[in-house]
Structure 1
Amino acid sequence: MDYQLYYWTGIQGRGEFVRLALEDAGARYVDVAREAGNAALQPFLDGERDGARPFAPPFLASGNLVVAQVANILHFLGPRLDLVPEGEAAQLQALQLQLTIADLVTEIHDSHHPIASAAYYEDQEEAATRRALDLRTHRLPKFLGYFEQVVGRGNGHALGAHSYVDLSLFQIVRGLDYAYPQAMAALAPTIPQLRRLEARIAERPNIAAYLASGRRLAFNTNGIFRHYPELDGGIAEKD
C-alpha cells in the first residue's frame, strides 16, 4: 500500500514520528510537501478535499482515507505495518502511550514558546527561561521516569515487543539530546532502559539507513526540539 504524508518542509516536527514508522517498516510513501512544496497541504486544510478536514499537519492519505493527528495516524498504521502487537488491549495501550508522548511533545514545544506559538522566541525569552527550568527539573524527570518504568516492564520495549511506540521514544530521546543536552546528561543515570532502547532503534537496518540518508533532516531551531543554551541552564550567546 502506498501512503502520502503531508507535513511542512524544512523541519522534522511532529511528522517525524510518522516518518520513523514508515521508514522502519519499509513502507512505500511520498513525503508530499518535500516534493511539491507546502502549497500541496492547503487544499486539505481549506476543506477542498472530501472527508474530514484536518486541523493541521501531519496527516496521512491512504486511498480515500485522510487520517490526522500523530497518535491517530500511528494507531491506523500500526496493524498495517506490523508495528503493534495483535489484540485490542495491546493496541489501545500503544495508543495510550503515544498520547502521553504527545503530551510531552507539547510541553517540550511550550518550553521555548510558553506565551504564543506565533510570536518569536526572542519576544518571550524571559517566560521561556522559567518554563524550561520547570521542564528540566520537574516535567522531564516525571515523563522520562514513567517511560523508563514502562520499557523496563516491557523487557526493553514499551509493549514487550517492537512497536511504533519504541520508535517515538527514540525520537523523544534524540530530540531532547539536541535541545537539552545538559539536562539529559544529568538524567542519564535514571533512564538506562530508554538509552538502551534508543541505541537498539538506531541499529535497526531501515532506521540506520534512514538516519544516514538525506531524508532525515537535522534538528534545528525552527522545529519542536530547539537548542537554546540559556534554556538548558547555560549562558546565552548575545551579539
Structure 2
Amino acid sequence: MRYELYYWSGIQGRGEYVRLALEDAGVDYVDVARERGDNAIMPFLRGRQEGALPFAPPFLKAGRLVIAQTVTILAYLGPHLGLVPGGQSAEIYAQQLQMTISDFIVEIHDTHHPIAASQYYEEQRTAARKRSQVFREERLPKFLAYFEQVIERGNGRQALSRHSYVDLSLFQLISGLDYAFPNAMRRMQKRIPRLRALAERVAERPNIAAYLASPRRIPFNEEGIFRHYAELDPTR
C-alpha cells in the first residue's frame, strides 16, 4: 500500500511522529503537502473529500481510509508496519504511552503559547516566561522520569518488549527538547540515561539515519512545536 501523509509543509509538528514510523519501516509514502503545497490539505478539512472528516492535520490516507490524529494513525500503522509487539495488551499499552507523549507535547507547545495559539509569541512573552519556569522545574522532570521508568520496566532498552513506534516518538521528544531547552536538558542529563541511550540507538537505525541526513527531515524552527527562545531556557 502507498500511504499519503497530509501535514503542513514547513514544520515537523505532530506529523513528524508519523513520518518517523513510515521512514523507519521503509514503506512507500507521499508527504502530500511537501509535493503539492499546503492547499492540498484544505479539501479534506472543508469536507469536500470522501471518508472521515479530519479536524486538523496530520491525517493519513491508507487506501480508502482517512485516519486523523497522531495517536490513532500510529495505532493503525503499528501492526501493519511491524512497529508494535503482537497481542492486544501490547497494542493498548503502546497507544497509552503515545497518548501520554501527546499530553506532553501540549505542555511543550504551551511554554511559548500559554495564552492563545492565535497570538504571536511576542504578545505573550511574560506569560511564556512564567509558564516555562514551571515547565522546566516541574513538568519536564515529571514526564521524563516517567518515560525513564517506562524503559526500565520494558526491557531496559526500549519502551516495550521490542522496537516500536513509541521508541521513535521518544526519540523525537528528546531531539525536540534538546533544541528548545538545551540548558534544562543538560541539567537532566544524568537522570535520564535510558532515554538518552534509546534516542542514540534510534538515530543509528539505518532508515532513520538516512532520513535524518536527507532533505526530507525538516529542521527544527520557530514555527513548530519545539521552539528555542533563550529567555525561556536560562542557563540556571
Normalising TM by the smaller chain, what interval? over 0.9
- Match of 1:145? 145
1:230 and 1:113 map into 2 onto residues whose CA distance is 14
* Partner-residue secondary structure (3-state), 1:202: helix
- Tell me the alpha carbon deviations over residues 1-29 of structure 1, each in whole angstroms, 9 at most, x when there is no partner: 11000000111111000000000000100
* Partner-residue secondary structure (3-state), 2:115: coil
Letter aligned with residue 161 of structure 2: G
1:49 and 1:218 map into 2 onto residues whose CA distance is 31
* Partner-residue secondary structure (3-state), 2:66: strand
- In the superposition, the TM-score normalised over structure 1's length comes to 0.97
- Tell me the alpha carbon deviations over residues 86-134 of structure 1, each in whole angstroms, 9 at most, x when there is no partner: 1110000000000000000000000100000010000000000000011
* Structure 1 residue 152, shift from structure 2 partner: 1.2
* Partner-residue secondary structure (3-state), 2:54: coil
- Match of 2:224? 223
* Structure 1 residue 234, shift from structure 2 partner: 5.2
Which runs of structure 2 are paired with 1:77-226 in the superposition (5 Å)?
A: 77-155=77-155, 156-226=157-227
- Match of 2:38? 38
- Match of 1:19? 19
Q: Is 1:70–2:70 an aligned residue pair?
A: yes
2:29 and 2:79 map into 1 onto residues whose CA distance is 17
* Partner-residue secondary structure (3-state), 2:22: helix
Letter aligned with residue 230 of structure 1: E
1:205 and 1:90 map into 2 onto residues whose CA distance is 25
* Partner-residue secondary structure (3-state), 1:13: coil
2:52 and 2:81 map into 1 onto residues whose CA distance is 23
Q: Is 1:8–2:11 an aligned residue pair?
A: no
Gaps of at least 5 residues in structure 1 are none
* Partner-residue secondary structure (3-state), 2:5: strand
State the percentage of identical aligned residues: 63
Letter aligned with residue 15 of structure 1: G
1:217 and 1:80 map into 2 onto residues whose CA distance is 25
Kindly report the root-mean-square deviation, in angstroms, between the aligned alpha carbons of the 2 structures: 0.9
